Amino acid sequence: MADEERYVRPPSAESEGLVPGRGRLRGRRVLVVGGGQRIVDVETDPVGNGRAMSLLFAREGAHVAVADRDEASAAETVRLIEAEGGQAFAISADISHESDVAEMVASAVRGLGGLDGLALNVGIGLGGLGLAGVKASEWDTVLGVNLRGPMLCCREALPVMEPGGSVVFISSIAGLIAGSRLPAYDASKAALGGLMRHVALEGARKGVRANIVAPGLVDTPLGRAATQGRPSRGRSPTPFGRQATGWEVAYAALFFIGDESVYVTAQTLAVDSGLTGIS
C-alpha cells in the first residue's frame, strides 16, 4: 500500500488523555515506579507512559505514590495530579539500588496506608547495535535495572500487598520479537515474562494478580530520544499508521490494575496495533 493510502487510526479522546475518570480505582492505593518522565524538548514532549498511568489512576480515584529516580520529575507528576484534584505524593528511588527499593515500598505503604496495586514502568537500553556492540558492563547495567530492579520491587511489595491486589509490568514487544537490535534490552524484556509468571504464581495464594503490558512503538519522550539515536525507528510502518500514545499504554495498565481484569493473571497484552500479530 502506498504511503498516501495507508490507513491512520485516528486517536480517540482516551488516546489523548481527555476523558474524565469513572471511579474504577476508587479507594485503591497504587505505587507507580517510573512515574516521572524524561525531558527531550519541554515545549513539545508528549506524555510518557509512567506519567500517563499515574494521572489516569488518580483520575479513576486511586491514591498514587509516584516513584522515580528523578525526584523533580516525580514531583511534577504529583503537581499535575493535584491540579486535577487527585491524591498523590512523590518518592525518590533508584531501583538499581536494593536499599532504595526497600525504602520506596515502605514509604509507599506508610503514605498510602496500604498497597493494592504496583505498576512497574522501568527500562533502559545501552550499548551499540548487535552482539558486537555489547559491553559486559553495559549488559549488567541494563539487566540490573530492567530485570533485577522489578524483581526487588516485587520481592518487597508482594508480602505487604493487600489480598486481591495487582502487579503490572510495563515491558516491550522487544521481549516478544526481535527488532530493537539492543541484545541486553531484548533479553531483559523477554526475561520479564518469566518473572511476571513467577509473581503471578506466588501472588495467587492471596489473589494478587500479575500481568504484562508490552507496548510497541510509542510516541513518548523516551521513544523520541530512541528515534534520535536510530532514525529508522521513526520510519517503521505500523498497521494503524501511527505510533501509540502514552495514554493508550496507560489504559491497558488500568485494565490490569482494576477489577475489570479480576480473573486475568499471568498474561501479556501487546499494545502495538498488531505489529506482533499481523505484520
Active site members: 185
Question: Which residue's entry shows cell 531501583?
Answer: 95
* Amino acid letter for position 18: L
Tell which residue, 49, 103, 44, has the closest CA to residue 77: 49
d(CA 279, CA 274): 7
**Crossing angle of the two packed helices 136-143 and 183-203, in degrees rounded to 10:** 30
Cα–Cα distance measured from residue 27 to residue 40, given in angstroms and rounded to the nearest whole number:
35
CA dist 253 and 98 (Å) reads: 25
How far apart CA 210 and CA 269 sit, in angstroms, is 12
The Cα 50–Cα 38 span in angstroms is 10
157 closest CA partner among 118, 196, 195: 118
Alpha-carbon torsion, ordered 181, 173, 46, 54, to 10 deg: -130
**Cα 80 from chain centre:** 18
